[in-house]
């Protein structure tokens, strides 16, 4: 059977699939995500439409090289008010982003798809909403120091599966989608295709 391929460099997505007992290989697409998102933003597209299109573009790019494989593409964009956020470039940017989100609600436009041989076989989206509590500079400094480079691995500069949960007063939506994949729907698709046992 052709291998299942994750077209993403996300450690969180890989960890979700591994924890669920899914066998796969990682093959990032190499797509310029920033330029892609800028084009969609300039065209007035919604964050979920952009995330969906980018997930598909990533999967298509990898599937073109290995058409026999099932390729999973995924993307996530944090939306707060009118602003879109990506993974912070450094710890200073992570702290600035968390200050911006402090005391506010934001959403995570999360999309995933599966492609084989250039054909879209499955698509899933979710938009969890999270409310960040108000916190002081002392807490923020301690948080950034404790998380270190880990704060740079997600669009929100936080990991709700770890210390980042302390940032929140309310979380609404699918836990797995917050971490980067609509996992239950993806697992159902994989079972339906015979890639996992029923």
How many Cα atoms sit within 13 Å of 148 on the Cβ side? 1
Query: What positions carry a catalytic annotation?
Result: 75
Q: In sequence order, what E strands does 87-167 have?
A: 105-116, 119-126, 129-132
Q: What is residue 169's DSSP assignment?
A: E
- Residue 181: in which H helix or E strand, if any? none
Instruction: Calculate Rg over the CA atoms of the chain.
Output: 17
Q: Is residue 63 within 8 Å of 115, Cβ to Cβ?
A: yes
How many residues can be counted in the chain? 198
Cα–Cα distances in angstroms (integers) from residue 63 to residues 118, 119, 124, in the given order = 6, 9, 18
């Amino acid at each position: 059977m052709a291998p299942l391929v994750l077209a993403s460099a996300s450690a969180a997505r890989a960890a979700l699939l591994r924890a669920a007992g899914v066998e796969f290989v990682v093959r990032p697409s190499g797509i310029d995500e920033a330029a892609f998102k800028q084009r969609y933003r300039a065209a007035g597209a919604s964050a979920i439409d952009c995330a969906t299109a980018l997930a598909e573009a990533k999967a298509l790019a990898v599937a073109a090289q290995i058409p026999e494989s099932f390729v999973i593409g995924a993307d996530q964009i944090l939306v707060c008010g009118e602003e879109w956020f990506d993974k912070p470039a450094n710890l200073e940017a992570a702290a600035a982003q968390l200050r911006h989100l402090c005391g506010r609600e934001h959403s995570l436009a999360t999309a995933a798809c599966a492609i084989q041989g250039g054909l879209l076989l499955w698509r899933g989206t979710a938009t969890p909403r999270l409310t960040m509590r108000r916190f002081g500079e002392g807490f923020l400094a301690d948080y950034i120091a404790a998380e270190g480079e880990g704060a740079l691995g997600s669009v929100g500069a936080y990991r709700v599966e770890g210390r980042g949960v302390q940032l929140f007063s309310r979380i609404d939506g699918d836990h797995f989608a917050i971490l980067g994949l609509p996992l239950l729907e993806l697992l159902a698709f994989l079972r339906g295709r015979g890639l996992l046992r029923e």
